[in-house]
Amino acid sequence: MQLISEQLAQFHRDGFLVLRDFLDAKSCDNILKIAQAHLDAKIEPIETETGYDSRDKAYRTTITDYTSHAKEEQEVVRRLRQVYQRDILFKAWMENEKIRPILQQILDDQVVITTAHHNSIMTKMPFCSTQTRWHQDRRYWRYSDDNLVSVWLALDEEDSTNGVLEFIPGSHKMKFSKDQFDEKEYFLESIEKNKQLIETKVSTNLYKGDVVLFHSLLLHRANKNSTEKPKISFVYTVKGLQTKAEKGSRSSKFPEIVLEKV
């Protein structure tokens, strides 16, 4: 499967692309079943809601120990980390050959899975999840260039009530000044020039099996989950073979999986 020229142009223009009904429902349900078991057992490495909110820029840039060190039973898991090696179903999705030609088109290079970043089952749990503020994923990643794309798989319906992704189209191509971000490099919603840009945000409801591809510099966010049902999604990141992790950085401390061209 490949993108038609209009789809490829749309990705490069907007910084994201939705692929509808990409993975079959049975595969999604099987992934979700394993993910739920790991979430219920809080199998490390995980990130908790408390941990997500408390980590500063230095931690997110340098620390390679992804265990949560959570001591409280009531800690809410925000994501399962390092899922590539957790289960054969997770690995199979990340190495899926159907999507690989699309990723090759977008990257214009051979596809490499980066297990250092994302490589996660993401959650927004009922009543206790928090919003995800405007940010660029690339801010804590250290690579030779920005040719990185994230692959987001909806394992069930996602909409504005449970935290669907929102994007600012074209923001991956924009130049920003340091004063447009806070100390954790979240995009400030309080200053006028940012407000005007945020008004251009877009989102689309996702359904089981839908995939969203988005650029590492694209500004995006998500609401908290205000429903009574967990929202669970799968996200991993790929890069081009020519894009190199900076030596000594967290980005270089985890294995990379080079996928054969198809």
3-state secondary structure of 248: coil
- Determine the Cα–Cα distance for residues 9 and 6; give it in Å rounded to an integer: 5
- In this predicted structure, which of 61-65, 91-95, 256-260 has the lowest mean pLDDT? 61-65
| Number of independent structural domains in the chain | 1
Please write the tens of the pLDDT for every residue from 2-15.
999 999 999 999 99
Provide the 10 A C-beta neighbour count for residue 90: 23
Q: What is the mean pLDDT of the chain?
A: 92
Please write the tens of the pLDDT for every residue from 168-221.
999 999 999 999 999 989 999 999 999 999 999 999 999 999 999 999 999 999
What kind and span of H or E run contains 149?
strand 148-154
Average pLDDT over residues 83-111: 98
Buried b (16+ CB within 10 A) or exposed e, 46-57: bbbbbbbeeeee
- Determine the Cα–Cα distance for residues 50 and 69; give it in Å rounded to an integer: 11
What pLDDT does 132 receive?
93
- Determine the Cα–Cα distance for residues 239 and 149; give it in Å rounded to an integer: 6
Please write the tens of the pLDDT for every residue from 27-58.
999 999 999 999 999 999 999 987 555 555 55
Do the Cβ atoms of 160 and 203 come closer than 8 Å?
Answer: yes
- Confidence band, pLDDT 50/70/90 cuts, at residue 127: confident
Residue range of the domain that includes 195: 5-258
Which CATH number do you get for residue 254? Answer: 2.60.120.620
- Confidence band, pLDDT 50/70/90 cuts, at residue 62: low
Question: Of 79, 58, 120, nearest to 254 (Cα)?
Answer: 120
* Cα-Cα-Cα-Cα dihedral sign, residues 44, 46, 51, 55: positive
Residue whose structure tokens are 């223009």: 13
Q: Is 118 left (phi over 0), alpha (psi -120 to 50) or beta?
A: left
- Confidence band, pLDDT 50/70/90 cuts, at residue 130: confident
